[in-house]
Amino acid sequence: MNKIERLISIVMVLLQKNVVSATEFAQLFNMSKRTILRDMETLSMSNIPIYSINGVNGGYAIMDEYKLDKRLLSSKDLENILTALGGLGQILFSDEVELTIKKMESMIGSATSKGSISLSFYDWDGRSEIVQILKTCQEAIAQGRLLTFDYIDRNGDMTIRMVEPYHLHFSEMSWYLKGFCLDRMEYRTFKLSRTDNLNIDSQTFDARDSMTEQKAEQQYQPKLITIKALISHQIKDHFIERYGQKRLEAYNSEWLIAQIDVPQNQIGFRFLASFGPDLEIIEPKAYIEDFREFLNVMLKKYV
């Protein structure tokens, strides 16, 4: 964090809290107390009405007249954001996210961290291995520089790609990089777990037309097909969470009928097969035939 960012953050904290000590600021920004004192002098010279309070409970405060009566975010708003950040911090892998959480905790009090909502994500070992890949992608995006990497497709074939990186995207359990592939000359989405040997190139790039990117994203979406399936009550909650209660209807005491949209490819087959004997596809017949062939390929490995 540079000095300007730190000064703005100090003002933000003082706008929310009555008195903050130099020690608290030093711990928040990982700076020495001497640096914080110089920051306060800088803000005072900039006509920000900050004043010091002596004593055991002393510190720095900002004049009430300078504070907004109607703030853009209420304490409850800040609590909600902090709750979200607290859970998402487990998958964002960013020191900046951790610093943001600390800032907000200081703005609304430590009691907020014991709110009524908490978020949790799988703490898989493989997720920690992708930290450096994410940081490299973030750096390339921020600097507007090309990114090169080895990419391994579903069949295990490896190609070397040079990409204009635009966005990092987290979906369900995986991280993806969206960008313009200079080798294919089109927008592509790359699964980060399939990348290796990432390097930031010295060459920079100008961002392309966002509308073209949106059209490419639409083309990237897999074709969906509507199917009907019998599902047991044991997996009912999975379908309610993903598709909603309206997609289910009673069939008998043991089964429900689910009408859902699934990808007409290997991804859809794997998803349905994961439910084992708790799911049976009943329509359409063409999809059942393709699914049966998918299962037969699996079974041949265990004959």
Q: Give the model's pLDDT for residue 289.
A: 95
Between CA 66 and CA 40 the distance in angstroms is: 16
Contact 187, 181 (CB under 8 A): yes
In terms of DSSP H, where are the helices of the chain? 3-16, 22-29, 33-45, 75-92, 95-108, 125-129, 131-143, 210-220, 236-243, 266-273, 285-300
Where do the CATH 1.10.10.10 domains begin and end in the chain?
A: 3-66
The encoded tokens of residue 296 equal 């037969």
pTM assigned to the model: 0.61
Amino acid at position 196, single letter: D
Residues of the chain with pLDDT under 50: 69-71, 111-112
Q: Give the model's pLDDT for residue 135.
A: 87
Q: Give the model's pLDDT for residue 234.
A: 94
Q: Which CATH architecture has domain 126-220?
A: Roll (2.30)
CATH 1.10.10.10 fits 3-66, yes or no: yes
Q: Give the model's pLDDT for residue 109.
A: 59
Q: Give the model's pLDDT for residue 69.
A: 47
Q: Give the model's pLDDT for residue 15.
A: 79
Backbone φ and ψ for 205, nearest 5 degrees, come out as: -145, 160
Where do the CATH 2.30.30 domains begin and end in the chain?
A: 126-220
